[in-house]
Every structure is written in structure tokens, then in C-alpha cells.
Structure 1
């Protein structure tokens, strides 16, 4: 079918801006994939076409240390230049794209890191920062994340508050000829599983309504990475995997036999790589180990790469509080709670897919909350000891005076207090009380926690089976990479994994029994060598072709949108969302965002104009805290947007 010229990204003379929510050295999916996408666009463009990657600059130094713990960047422009140099170095050395790393344009926007959300949020209207004359195509990586909060901009001064529909020139679709939004993360599901109890469902629905509003307002075409994502705009969305893998993941079969002997004595055949949190399916993986033990009589060894906030509790669940390995005597290298460890702390962060959208199933979350009760037993009883002691003495006196027997409950309470009081003499450590049912195990699972590692470094290792039990991903980057390296990948049958079913080394399971069956098969067989045709599916060249095809709008579809009034309603939504940002300028914004002063002139590219308008606009922010008022404001916007969905 005939396509509109505006939506044709195959024209290599067109300039492209790619805006994302994260950047290196944070090796998360929304940092790595947009960078590689921009490099491959740069590779295919003509000399006159410009490709610009727009990335966040975390303003506060303490927040940068939290996001990039192994890297130190200076404040201000000096720090931006240092981080830009780091990005270009990675593009040249790791991605192997030296010419493109030099010609790619990089622009920063001021941002703040919210650790409770695990996300970087913009401090300004990013669209207003882009003032180059070559604005044409824009790709918004996580468009909802980039536009949730309607930040004010210098362009607000040019907009008359009493104008309504003339504001059709507001936003991304007004500035750019064609705007493509790529949805990476299931944020409503994140809220549904990790939100505050009692308000999870309401919060998830509110966030979904807000996400629909901004995606419809600012995107001409919406691309969802997999079917696991909710509907944003059924009249202009599609499902497509627009990600590829770096060239160094594509296994060179000629070198495999020569290099596969590396670390053969210390590596297991099965491994996992990713963020070490319960949301990645470790609860299910532990159940799989138990099922395998029932059928085979032993646990399967596994190497686990990565780091995360749940690493200690997960290690305890694999080893048990005794820290024993199998049926052998205690192994000091596998003990926990302050004793020596064999964990190899790598110095490179794990390149793992979407670090956003990490969720626990409801039952798992409730189970962990129940387990946490036991972990607080010691602290609670010790604090209550003086009051309980007085109560027991009073009851004992009453029993003596009344010549009645002391109740069983009082005796039990007294015995418990005696235990707490005398526990140092008994050499009992309350911190070793199991927090999950898995920690009661008598036999440890032979797991090696090896710390963060670049997945590509495992290309020629002895690992041939990658297990990924997570069902919280949108499209798992590590599964993509493992299949590209020619390894078996054992994963659940889930909408997020549908793209991988076409490959012979993908072993999808529907239950524990099938998982164990796949493990047995993979341990006794070798992966099927990838044909050139199958290998091509993993390349960024193929991913770029898929993106170009998915971004297209046919003339017939465009006509339907215009005649149905959809486009006009989307412009109205953009106006409503933008106008809400006018309420949070000046002192209000100063109290809301709680960040250092941000001079937008620092974020201009040298050739950009509108200096006079920029000089009169500066965000003066100070203090500590988070965007609570913005979230409340967005909540109100979402309520309004509910009535604008059709």
C-alpha cells in the first residue's frame, strides 16, 4: 500500500532526533538500544542528514553517584563533556562503530534521578530545547516517560492563554514532521505490583490513562516491543521488535572451538545474567531447582551474573542459612552473613534489558511480606521487653495473691523473653533467622554469584544454557543476546517472548515439569548452529528495517484518521496536557522538583538559536526531595484524560 512521505524513514536524506530516558554508563536497555539505534541511523544517512541523540544529564552530583557508582563526572558543562566522551568511547570500542561515534551529535537535557522510582525524570520541556533547523523525524524512546510531567518552557511566553485550538502547534508532533514513540516498559504493571498497598489498582489505572493521553498527544505512530504492553492508541500502534544486538554477540563459529576452553574449570553449563531482584523470577527458578532435585536427585549448578538490591536475600535462599553446598561439608566460599565469599565482583555493569517495569506477582509479594515478619522478631521483642517484663511480674503477683495458676500464655511469654535476654550466651544470631521458606533448606543449591558482567564477555565461555524465568519483561535484551550467541535459552511461554519462538534454540515452557524437561535436554545436547538467515534477525541492520516498516503510515490510514477527527482530538489533548504545565512555573516548580539551579543555556548545542528567549528562562530550584506535586498534578490530568480517550 502507498505510504505517506512524512512517515517514510527509508529516505536517507532525512535528519533524525532520538530522545531517550537513560544513558551510559548506565548499561540499561533504554540507554544502550537508543544509542545503537542512533549509530546505525548515522551509518545509513547521507552527509547532509544529521542524527542527534538527546540524553539526560543528572544535575545533582549525589544522584549521579547513585546511577553511575563506578564513574565520576564533574558538575556542569565539564561533566557533560566527560560523559559525552564516555558515550563516544563505548560506541567506538564496544560497539565497533568508530566513524559513527565521531559524527553522531549528542545533546543533553537536565534531569533528576528518583531512586524510589528507579528512573531518571526530566526537569524541563525537552521539546523546547531542540531548536536546530534540521528537525524532521523524532523517535521518542519511552514517550510516556518523557512527557508525563508537563514541564514549562521558554516557549510558554509565546502562547496566549486564551487561545485554544490555535495551540495545534504545541508539542512534538507540531515541531517534527513525523514522531515515532517506542514503548519499552509496562509502567502500569509496575505500579500494580510494587505500588502502595490499597492504592495499587487505582494508581495503575491512573498511570495508564496518563500514558495514553501523552502518547496519543505527541506521537504519530506508536510501536510496542511486545504484546505484553497495554493498548495506548489502537488506531496508530503496532507491535514490533525494533532492537538488535551488538555485532560482538553474533558468534563466529570458526573461533568457537579455540576459545571455548576459557574458564572451563570454574564455569557451569547453565547461567543467568541480569538484575538480581525477585521480580526477575528467582522465586520460580528456586521451585525449578526443587523440581529438578525431585526427578534427578541433585540440583543443577548455575552461575548467576549481575547485582541488585535483593542479591543477599536471594543468595540466602539458594544456600540456606547454614551455607552448605550439596551433601558436602560446609564450604567457606559459599557461606553468608559476613563470612568469606567466592563472589567475583566484576567491574562492568550487566547489560540487561528493561531496568524499568520490574514487578513481582501479587502472591510472591505477599509471601515476602509475611516472611519479613520473622526477620523483625528480635528487634520487636527486645524493644518491648521492659513493658512485657512489667506485665509478667504483675500477672505473677496477681496469681500468687489470688492463689490461681499462671496462665499458659504468660508462661510462654516469659520463656520467650528469657530466650531473647539470654541469646548472646546461647550464641544465637537473630539476623540468621530465615526470611523466606527457601532459607530453611538443609542442602544448598550449587549457585555461584559472580557479580555484574558484560554479557558479551560470556560469548565463548562454557555456558551453553541461559535460563530466564522472568515474566515482567517487555522484550528481554539478554534473551535476545543469548540466542544470538548460539546458546540454548529456556524461558516461559509469555507474550513478551513471542519473538524468540522462531529460533530452534529457544526452549519455551508452560510449567515446572516442562522446564525440567528442557534442562535435561539442553544438558545432553548441543545448540543448533544458526543459519545466516536466522543470524540476520538479530542484527541491528534487520532491526532498523523492522523499525522503518513499523513507522509507516499508509495514505488510507491517514485519510481515516483525518476524517474521523482523531488527529484533531489528539491536538486538543496535547493542549490540555501542555496547559497543565503552566500551573507549575516559578516558585511552585522550585518547591516541587527540589533540584539545583538549571540554566538552559548550558544545554544548547553551539549552532542553536533563540538565545534571547532562552536568556529570560531559567529554572531556579533548590533543596532535596521528589516530584510529589508533579505526580499529584499528573493524577488530575489523568482523570481529565479519562474523558478524552475516544
Structure 2
């Protein structure tokens, strides 16, 4: 027991010694760190003291240099400026003496010593030591006692607890002496009346050094605004998004790609939402399209790296800079009057009504055919000896129908007529017939037709905005030919190819056409104003009780099987008995005229074939019912004209007639039995007069307005930018300028590949091109006054 009792004090003393050894070691480290900081502060104070001494020397130099200004005569005083500086010198000396004294330095060091918000509480150590030491004579350690002996020497402990308080907001501000010095210097500059003395002081090197030192001391650290780098999900999402052209050709739907992109970007979107909500900011991501948000994210990262992307590969965009401040619009079409086809008539009216606006200048580019081809295409053996003669015919025909003189330019490009395709194929580079100064906006009527064999400059390279308008359902025509299914397969992909490569925007007149890239469905065709005037005349006669329609039914169209003649003969042959008393007059000319008439005669159908004529001809006004069984049309112009004249129209329930279903005089049928019922209904009743709203929807004014809206031409002409959320201050970057687009690269690659393939004559002939159409021939050079192709485009070397 005695042994144990004697051992406890020694064990407790050893434990306490270890504890204080640990504490003293930590205290020494803190003391050494504080000493180093105090030495640094002392060095800076000495440096400031040296600056003050240098300032005294500068003042003495100043007085010496200012001595010529003084007047040493009796009774006079020194200039005001010199007196002011002399009065200021004792104050500056006093200021230097006070702020360089040891007491001031000690106060500064006491005030500026490091005081982090650290609280060191040794109560736990004290409790542990006390618990180990018994309360006996030799082992009691009282920490609250002021004077104790430890290890043979007197130790003074004050509570053995200390606290480093954090710096207050005032201590973080500008140091009081520096602020006072800056204030007095500003007062000196303001009170001094001598500009020369003031300029000498301002230009003094010492003053400049003082100012630079003060700026360095008071400079606040700038926050880092680095844009975080892209992570793997964002890169994968952008790759999927930009791979849309490839995935589209492979059969992937667009909504599937959007879902994949949204899945990759959902995590980051959630993080941004949480960050914005936690900071109290209003988030704009909730109502933002995830694709646009991804584009802006990529753009911000690229911009932070200094990258600037202006265009895609193989591109050379033209910046519009017109001296007359007017935009130029070039309308390129595949046919011309007097060939009465949709691609000849509708672009002509479009040019006339677009030219009514003073905002733009219009050029209509139509094909020029040599006399041998004119005899095959134009009706009634009508031929022209020069482009000027044909232009006069076109303008007279147009002015007679629109009722005003249209101010637009008509140009011609070389073309050749293909008997197999029954259409005009451009010869040479069509884009070269629009000058570079006028190459601003291009409207390609039938863009796939114009570019099947186009071997020249890319339209989107030469023009700032290219709009394609699809007129014809070529796939429906090709399926009727031999091996039509195989040909339609290739033509479908070629159409996708050329429209993607050469157009910025594609308008489809109806859903009857194939779904092309960058396309939207909208009827941008109107009706000749002459037909609307006929309809108004018919309505006025009906109000007076006069008989308006004295004839029955008729059909009008180019006499080729694909224009609805096959469907018409099949319906009449199948229901010959149901329509026994029904007579139909047929107006049209064409390559299949003889064959169509022979089949109708063989089946003993009650059809009366007449020569083709203009639909506005007076002889057609008396018919009450227009029959149109065609399912190959995209948007039949004759149907719209018949409705405008107040007639009944019997047509198939087909996407090409979707626009006409809202008119009460349009009677659609789904089966052959419905066809018979609709024909009898039309013959037994009178058509309803058109309302003002219905007449406007059929007019070219309304069609032009729809075209400007859906082609985005109004935005382009007004120089407005297409940016999502442009009103938001945080959306000031333009995506197309900030980042490259894989779609543009793909389109450029497709255009380059198409240019290479169409330059080979063997491949052109294998795909059905007319021989020698890669360049125009000598006859075109003579008719259009052109230089030979070898002169305009010389080939050097091989």
C-alpha cells in the first residue's frame, strides 16, 4: 500500500510534465511565427521611414529650385505657394516624427498582429492533468493560482487560456495613416493656386512612387471568373446533337436524339438549378430548351479559351454591303412562259409581288432554250429569236393579269430540254448569272431539280440566305416508270443530299412531297388576281338573279398520264353506268395526248378533248364544276384558280389538297363511290360565294406574307438576329459565331462531294444527265452573248 501510495505522485508528475512539454512546444512554434511576422512589419515600417526621409530631401530640392520665383526686396513677402509649402513642412516633419516613433510602431504592430478566429481552450488538458494528480501535499497543481513553483523555478500562469479575436471590419479597411496622407495630398492639390507648382509636384518621380505604392497596398484581389471545362456527358451530348445528319440518314428519329441529349445534360442542369436557387438568383434554365442551353454552354467554353469560329469548312459567306441600302433577292426557277406550268407562273407572280416592297430589289432568273428546244416545249409553235423578245412577252402577260407594272429584273441562264424527264435541265453553273454584288438572298424554285447536276459554286457560299421551294412530287412521277421503285429510292436520297447542301431553309407546299432536311410545310402560292375578279363578277351576277354557270364539268391540265389522266379514266370507266349522262370536257396538250385519247375512245368514255388554253380564258368561265382526280400534284394551281372563280371543285382526299378543305366549295372524296356522289352533288347544287377572308387567303398578298414569315425572309431583310432569349442580358453571345457546327461541316462535305461527282461526264451520263450540260454550248454563247466556257473558266495544266 505504501509503495502504491508513493508511486502515484511520481506518475502524476511525469504525466503533467509531458503535458506541459507538449504545450510549450506548440507555444514556441506560434511565437516563432509571430516573430517572423513582426520582423516583416518592422522592415516595412523602416522602408516607410526611408520614404519620409526622401520626402524631406525632395522638399529641400523644391525650395532650391523655387528660389528664382521669390522677390528678396525689402517689405515684400514670398509668393503664396512658397509660403504654403513652408508652412506645410513643419506639419509634415511632425507627421513623420509621430508616425516613426517606437510607440506608434508598437501600436501598429499590436493592431496589425495576426488575429485569426482561433480559440485555444486548454481546459480539457487541465482537467485531464487534475484528474491524474491527487489532492495531496506534493502533487497539487493549482492553475488558478498566480504564483507557483515548477521544476525549481517560479512560474506565473494567468488562466492558461488565450483567445485570438478576428479582425473587425474597420481593421480590414484602409490603414488610417495612409488614408490621412492621401487626404492631405488631395487638399494640397485642391488649395494650390499655382498650376506650375502643381504640375512639378505631380510629375515628380517621388510622388509617382508614392502613388504606385499606395495603389499596390490598396489593391483588392479580383475574383476568378474561369468557366468550368466541359465534362464527358456534355461532350457526348454535343456529339449526338451534331451527328443529326448521320443519324437521320440511318433512320433515327429526331425526338430520340433529343431524349439522348437531354439525358446527358440533365445532371448538369440540376446542378445549375441548385446553384442559382441557393444564391437567390432567378433561374432561366427551367423554361430553356436543353439544346439551346447546351449550345450556349459550348459557346461560353470556347469563348473563354479565345476561340472564335466564323464559318464552316468550304464556306465563303458574302457580307451584304449595298450602296443603295437595298437588299437583293434572286428568284431562280426551272421554267418560263409561254410554257404554262406551275414553275413558270408562280415564281413570276412571286417576283412581281415581292418587288412591290421598296425594301429589296428582285431579279428573276429563268432558263433560255435554243429554238430547237423551244419548238418542243412552248405551245402553238411559239418561238423567240432573242431573250429580249421573250422578256417582252413575259412582262406583257404579267401586267395584263396583275394590273400594275412590276419593277424587277429578268435574266436568263442556259438550259436544255430533256425529253425523258420532260423538264428543263440547267447547263453550266447557274449561280454565275447573278453578279457578286447582287448575290445576297436566293430563292430556288425546285431546289432539287436545279441542283441534280449543278456543277459550280455552292449557293450557300455565294448567297447570305438561300430558300428552297418544293413544287413537284418527283417520287410519285418516278414510281410510275419502269423500275420506278428502285429509281425513287436513289432520287429520294439525292434530293436529301442536294437540298441539305445548298439550302438554308426549305418550304414544302404540302405534305405530298418527301420530308426534306431543313423543311417546313406552308402554302406560299397565290391566285392570279384575274381569277379573283372573275369570282367577284360571278357573285355580283348571282345577287342580281342572273344565270352564272351555263356549262357542266371540265378538267384542265397538261396531257401526261401523271397529271391525273390515269385516275380520271379509271374512275369514269369503273362507274360508267352510274355516270351515264355525265359529260366532261378535257383541255390540255402534252406528250401523252394521243395515247390518252386512244384509251378513252377504246373504253367509250364520254370525254370531249379540246386543245389546251389559259385557265383565265373567257370560254371556261361558264363551267360550274372542276374535276381534279390527280394525286401526283403537290398543290394544284388549277384547283385554287377554280375556287377563286366561284366554282365547285371535286378532288381526292389527299395531302396535296389539305389547304383547300376549308373552302365550302371544295368537295373531297376517299373512294370511287364517293367520287360519284360528289360529282352528282356538285351538278345538282349552286356553289357558295366566297367571303372576303377566303378571297384574301387565296390572293398573292396573303401568299407573299406567308412566304416572308415561314422563310424567315422578313427577319433577314430587317437584319434581325435569331437568338433564343435575346431580351435576357445573359444571352449576348451568338452561337453561330462562337462555335463550329458539325452540321455545317457535314453540309460542306456533301457539297464538295457533289461538286466532284458532277464534274465527271461519265457519272453524269450514267445518272441520266443530258450530254454536254456541264457547260453551255456555242449556241447559248451566241444567244446570250456569253464568252466560251474555256475563256471564263480556263483550266491550267492537266
TM-score, normalising length: structure 1: 0.63
* Matching residue of 2:505: 221
Higher relative contact order (CA 8 A, sep 6+): 1
TM-aligned CA distance change 1:134 to 1:223, over 3 Å: same
Q: After superposition, where does 1:345-494 map in structure 2 within 5 Å?
A: 434=602, 438-439=603-604, 445=606, 447-458=607-618, 461-494=621-654
- What is the alpha-carbon distance in structure 1 between the residues aligned to residue 537 and residue 549 of structure 2? 21
Native 8 Å contact 2:338 2:379 kept in 1: no
Shift of 1:304: 1.4
* Matching residue of 1:238: 520
Native 8 Å contact 2:446 2:471 kept in 1: yes
Native 8 Å contact 1:306 1:453 kept in 2: yes
* Secondary structure at the counterpart of residue 428 of structure 2: coil
Q: Does 1:617 align with 2:793?
A: yes
* Matching residue of 1:143: 447
* Secondary structure at the counterpart of residue 331 of structure 2: strand
* Matching residue of 1:87: 394
Shift of 1:309: 3.0
User: Which of 556, 559, 562 matches 1:276?
Assistant: 559
User: Which of 553, 572, 593 matches 2:749?
Assistant: 572
Shift of 1:520: 1.7
* Secondary structure at the counterpart of residue 230 of structure 1: coil
The runs of 5 or more residues in structure 2 that have no matched partner are 1-287, 290-317, 319-324, 716-721, 726-733
Q: Does 1:181 align with 2:492?
A: no
- What is the alpha-carbon distance in structure 1 between the residues aligned to residue 770 and residue 347 of structure 2? 31
Q: Return 282-291 or 492-501, whichever deviates more.
A: 282-291
Q: After superposition, where does 1:50-69 map in structure 2 within 5 Å?
A: 50-59=361-370, 61-69=371-379
* Secondary structure at the counterpart of residue 15 of structure 1: strand
Shift of 1:281: 3.1
* Matching residue of 2:332: 19
Q: Return 114-123 or 455-464, whichever deviates more.
A: 455-464
Shift of 1:186: 1.8
Native 8 Å contact 2:535 2:646 kept in 1: no
Native 8 Å contact 1:271 1:304 kept in 2: yes
Deviations 1:166-185 (A, max 9, x none): xxxx5111111110000111
TM-aligned CA distance change 1:316 to 1:581, over 3 Å: closer
- What is the aligned-residue RMSD (CA, Å)? 3.8
Higher-Rg member (1/2)? 2
TM-aligned CA distance change 1:257 to 1:179, over 3 Å: closer
* Secondary structure at the counterpart of residue 752 of structure 2: helix
Aligned length: 453
TM-aligned CA distance change 1:448 to 1:258, over 3 Å: farther
Q: Return 236-245 or 125-134, whichever deviates more.
A: 125-134
* Matching residue of 2:349: 36
* Matching residue of 2:489: 205
* Secondary structure at the counterpart of residue 250 of structure 1: helix
* Matching residue of 1:551: 711
User: Which of 400, 411, 414 matches 1:107?
Assistant: 411
Native 8 Å contact 1:307 1:451 kept in 2: yes
Deviations 1:365-386 (A, max 9, x none): xxxxxxxxxxxxxxxxxxxxxx
* Secondary structure at the counterpart of residue 413 of structure 2: strand
Q: Does 1:302 align with 2:584?
A: yes
TM-aligned CA distance change 1:560 to 1:534, over 3 Å: farther
* Matching residue of 1:289: 572
Shift of 1:580: 2.8
Shift of 1:117: 1.1
Native 8 Å contact 1:225 1:475 kept in 2: yes
- What is the alpha-carbon distance in structure 1 between the residues aligned to residue 492 and residue 760 of structure 2? 23
- What is the alpha-carbon distance in structure 2 between the residues aligned to residue 34 and residue 590 of structure 1? 25
* Matching residue of 2:657: 497
* Secondary structure at the counterpart of residue 185 of structure 1: coil
TM-aligned CA distance change 1:601 to 1:41, over 3 Å: farther
Native 8 Å contact 1:249 1:459 kept in 2: no
- What is the alpha-carbon distance in structure 2 between the residues aligned to residue 272 and residue 618 of structure 1? 52
- What is the alpha-carbon distance in structure 1 between the residues aligned to residue 780 and residue 683 of structure 2? 58
Shift of 1:457: 1.7
